[in-house]
Chain A
Amino acid sequence: MKRTKFYNTSEGIYDSNGEIKEEILDSIISAAYGDAGFFQKRGVEKLAVKYPEIKILFEEYKKTANSVHKLGEYHCPDEIIQIAKIRSGTVEHEEKSFFADLYTAIFSRPLVSFGVSAVLLVVITISIFINRQPIEHRYSDAEVELANQQAKEAFLIVSNIFNKTKNSIESEILTKRVSKPINKSIDRINDLFSQGGQNETVN
């Protein structure tokens, strides 16, 4: 099912009066002013690529939209407010209150509220960092002595293992398993050589 009818451009983009179809024009305007949905905007962009007249129209509306959005706010003159206060009798009822002035100064101006909040946050963060005590690990002398003793015992065990291994290699493995068979083989070869020499002599 197609999402929007007017993207089906096989019927053309113009109506019977030769003007751009209403739905297409509405989408162009919405896209130019920035309140079209994602698919609507994409559809307009595709049409702009395909049809130069759509592109021109889109650019014109976009230019107008940008100018409209750049229009700033009118600033209400203070004298109007003063006159209104006098006419309504507000001036008589206003009590000079430091806290009321402070409330108005801080909360009626968003920038001031934001600034005050930011400053408070920074001050709180800095004070947390300054006042943070480093964590010190304290061990008693007895605990240190015990740890040393245990370390020495562990090293001793490892040393014993290495010595036993060394002795085992030297006395048993090398002697019995390696050198003895080699010597036996060499003796055997010598015997063979000497027997061969005797046979030659006889012959």
Chain B
Amino acid sequence: MANKSTKYNFLIQQNKNKIYGYAVYMLNNRMDADDVTQEVMIRIWNNVDKFNILAAKSWIMRTTHNLCIDYLRKRKIIVQKEVEINEDITENFHDQKFENDPFLKTHVDLMNEQIEIAIQKLPDNLKSIFILYEIQGMKYKEISKLLEIPLNSVKVYLLRARKKLQEELKNYETHEVL
């Protein structure tokens, strides 16, 4: 039991931020992200003896992704043209590098807000790949295995996500100017 506990604690420490971060980006709702994160951790505990600790990351992220998709389907999110800024989410994201320079910090915060809003507007299939690659730092092969899609599809979807993100940012800037 001590061994199971140790393994569980190790996996949680290694993956907690990735699980939570992915859920936040996918669901755009802190409460739902909390629920998904808890659910994933419970499932890790229930299955910790069954999988190889080296391959655990892939299993954990796949479980997180599947739960997020389930939540999205249940909620039947209607894509809005304007997304409300979730202040709770932006507060949770903390970059200590710009603490000393308030002007720079504000500028960085605004840019991050813009980027996060634009990411939220991406279609779910593009958003998941974009988050896994650009933010979580996973490789093409890992994403392909996790989402069970061909490697070339991952590359194509990533390119589409980047193009879509650029369009969203341009629309956002245009809207702000108007």
Contacts and interface: CB of A to CB of B under 8 A. Distances in A.
Contact of A76 (B10, B20, B94, B159): B20
Given A33-B162, A64-B169, A95-B1, A108 B14 contact: yes
A104 interface: yes
A14 interface: no
**Prevailing SS type, chain A contact patch:** helix
A85 B4 CA distance: 13
Interface residues of B, number: 43
A70 B110 CA distance: 13
B112 interface: yes
Nearest to B168: A64
A75 B38 CA distance: 14
Contacts of B163: 25, 29
A80 B38 CA distance: 6
Interface string B1-33: 110111011101110111111001000000000
A71 B116 contact: yes
Contacts of B34: 77, 80
Given A60-B166, A64-B165, A74-B92, A108 B9 contact: yes
Nearest to B41: A84
Contacts of A80: 16, 20, 34, 37-38, 41
Given A64-B165, A81-B41, A83-B38, A94 B5 contact: yes
A67 B5 contact: no
A84 B1 CA distance: 18
Interface in A64-98: 64-65, 67-77, 80-81, 83-85, 87-88, 90, 93-95, 97
B100 interface: no
Contacts of A81: 12, 16, 41
Given A67-B112, A84-B38, A75 B162 contact: no
Given A74-B20, A76-B17, A87-B38, A104 B159 contact: no
Contact of B6 (A29, A67, A87, A104): A104
Contacts of B8: 90
Contacts of B6: 100, 103-104
B111 interface: yes
B13 A104 contact: yes
Contacts of A53: none
Given A71-B115, A72-B94, A88-B41, A29 B162 contact: yes
Nearest to A69: B134
A26 B37 contact: no
A6 interface: no
Which of A60, A71, A77 has the largest number of chain B CB atoms within 10 A? A71
27 contacts: A30-B159, A67-B112, A68-B134, A69-B134, A70-B108, A70-B112, A71-B93, A72-B93, A73-B21, A73-B135, A75-B92, A75-B94, A76-B19, A76-B20, A76-B21, A77-B34, A80-B20, A81-B16, A84-B38, A88-B42, A90-B5, A93-B4, A94-B5, A100-B2, A103-B10, A104-B6, A104-B13
Give the top 3 A-B pairs by smallest Cβ distance, nearest first.
A84-B41, A76-B20, A74-B21
Interface of A: 25-26, 29-30, 33, 60-61, 64-65, 67-77, 80-81, 83-85, 87-88, 90, 93-95, 97, 100, 103-104, 107-109
